[in-house]
A and B are shown apart, each in its own frame.
Chain A
Amino acid sequence: MTALPMANSLMDTASTEAAIAGSILPPALMINFEFKLCKGDPETLDKAGQAWRKAADQIDQVNQKLQDSVSGVGAQDWTAEDRPAYEKKVQEFTSQLQVLSTYCMVVGIALTTLAYALLVYAVFAVGMGTFLGALAIEAAAALAVPVVGEADYAAALGIAATCLTITSVATGVLAAAGQLAGAAFAGGSLAAAAVEYSKGNNQAFSDWAKAQEVGAAGAAANLLQNAGNAGLDFLNRGGGKSGKGFPLTSVDADADRGWDKTWSVGGGATVDTKGGGSVDASGHVKVGDHGVQGADADVKVGTKGGGEVEGKGGWDEDADGNDTYSGGVSGKTAGGAHAGAEGEYGDDGHWKGKVDGGYEKGNSDTSGSVGVDHDKDGNTKYTGEAGNTYRGVTTGSTNQEVSTGEGGTQYKGSYTGAGGAYDSEKPPWES
């Protein structure tokens, strides 16, 4: 367990403290602006870093397996002169892959290092925010005293200005960490390409050039997103949902190309409503070799009290050209009730639907759902489940499942709770 998941709430706390202090001490508003610019998602960065390091290990394993496989062909099984030539090719191959493995490890370490740099900044920010909060209280008290208090307020303002300088230095350190990571990503890949070329990979430089060409769209999307959010962060330096800020709080831009060479292009925005709620809206289009192969949209409306309504829909075309359409709505009230419904239909004949609902009150959490899943071969499965927990301990639960299709009708059911428990495959209608 790391502290990385705490970083975002630390940054939110720091930002709120600075925004409040900013109403008394203007330099705190600029400090809040810097805090907003330095809020990332360290946990996600670290997870990506772990994936890159896992990729490095997997590549090493592939290398080992290939070498074992070649040496597994016994000396007496292949003494012809084409063997040394083949072994040389394999040797070149594994040494090139070793370079890629090292590169993956470097990127993985850079991502996790950056994640911890963001966490360190968050710890600094919450300390600075708390200090500014206390300073603002003193400054407000000084302002309340006519004439005499002015000098004290001026002193507090001077300290706040020093805090801004300190924050700018900390922000600069984080920016330097970002530049180091950027150098590892870009410079590292060019170095990897150069070393691979020296080890016989004639494709290395064209692969690098192609990667930069394809990656440019993603880079532009990230630049656009960050530039847009920088402007919005400035407009919202006095606070966001407090109603003092600009209604648009963040934007998202995506242009990502996956392993299957399919592009996902889209974006989203978060808008704060006057009543203290917010609206998140996003949409993406998937573009592959056959043109547009899918689309999705998601709109979420949150209320000040914690209520939420979400609707989403999508269309996806798989590699065989089959279309699947999906949609869903869900909602929860500030009082703890939640309900949702989702469905999916594919032109290969499959369809499914699910409805769920529940209620949380105090230490008690009750929920249930029913679903039906019809596969393309004509088999249908009906499911139902319900349960209750009290202080995290299950007080009762039941699962019921009926399947119909080529294999006839099958039943599976279980229950635990008041009156005992059962776990049976004998249908109740036969007892």
Chain B
Amino acid sequence: MKDRTLGNIIQVNPERIEQHGKDIDSNITPELEKVGSETLGGDGVYNLEGGSFSVTCTAASVTYPGAIQFAFQDLRTHLEMLKHFGEGIATSAKNYMEAEKASTVTS
């Protein structure tokens, strides 16, 4: 699609943009999700026993649950952001496609 109305040439390939959105949804998002669900969410990681630190190192054992939950929360926030990226890209691609269709009909 080319738009010369304002004197600037705007080039848009909606299919390629749409492909980028799908890449986010089907390749990138699952990989980030795996960090939470498998790597940090694995047994012995998210539920590390207080006793594993020893009684002497209680200072570490009481702060560890907050550390794992912070990582979980932060990952969830960024997964939500990725979801918005994917949705936004899909909407943009759709709008460009419709604009292209409209300009083809009128010309």
Residues of chain A touching chain B, judged by Cβ–Cβ distance below 8 Å, are 34, 36-41, 44-45, 47-48, 51-52, 54-55, 58-59, 61-62, 65-66, 69-70, 72-74, 76-82, 86, 89-90, 93, 96-97, 100, 103-104, 107, 110, 114, 118, 171, 174-175, 177-179, 181-183, 185-186, 188-189, 192-193, 196, 201, 203-204, 207-208, 210-212, 214-219, 221-223, 225-227, 229-230, 233, 250, 252-254, 256-260, 264
Contacts and interface: CB of A to CB of B under 8 A. Distances in A.
Contacts of A188: 67
A55 B28 contact: no
B66 A179 contact: no
A86 B34 CA distance: 25
Interface string B3-42: 0000001111100110110011001100110111101111
A24 B82 CA distance: 67
B28 A229 contact: no
B63 interface: yes
A241 to B, nearest CB: 18
B96 to A, nearest CB: 8
Contacts of A47: 44-45
Given A171-B56, A182-B63, A233-B55, A103 B71 contact: yes
A104 B78 CA distance: 15
> 5 closest A-B pairs (Cβ-Cβ)?
A178-B57, A218-B65, A222-B50, A40-B54, A215-B66
Nearest to B27: A65
Contacts of A211: 66-67, 69-70, 72-73
B50 A175 contact: no
Contacts of A227: 58
A77 B60 contact: no
Given A189-B67, A192-B70, A214-B69, 14 more contacts: A47-B44, A51-B44, A51-B45, A58-B35, A59-B35, A93-B78, A118-B57, A178-B53, A182-B57, A182-B64, A218-B64, A222-B58, A225-B49, A257-B72
Contact of A59 (B13, B23, B32, B52): B32
15 contacts: A45-B48, A51-B40, A77-B17, A78-B12, A79-B10, A104-B40, A114-B60, A185-B64, A218-B64, A219-B62, A219-B63, A222-B62, A222-B64, A229-B51, A250-B51
Interface residues of B, number: 65
B69 to A, nearest CB: 4
Contacts of B54: 37-40, 118, 174, 178
A187 B3 CA distance: 52
B31 A219 contact: no
Contacts of A62: 28, 31-32, 35
Nearest to B52: A41
B24 A69 contact: yes
A229 B55 contact: yes
B40 A259 contact: yes
B57 A174 contact: yes
Contact of A40 (B40, B53, B62, B89): B53
A178 B46 contact: no
A214 B11 CA distance: 49
Contacts of A38: 54-56
Contact of B58 (A82, A223, A252): A223
Given A38-B56, A222-B61, A107 B50 contact: no
Nearest to B22: A69
Nearest to B32: A62
Nearest to A76: B11
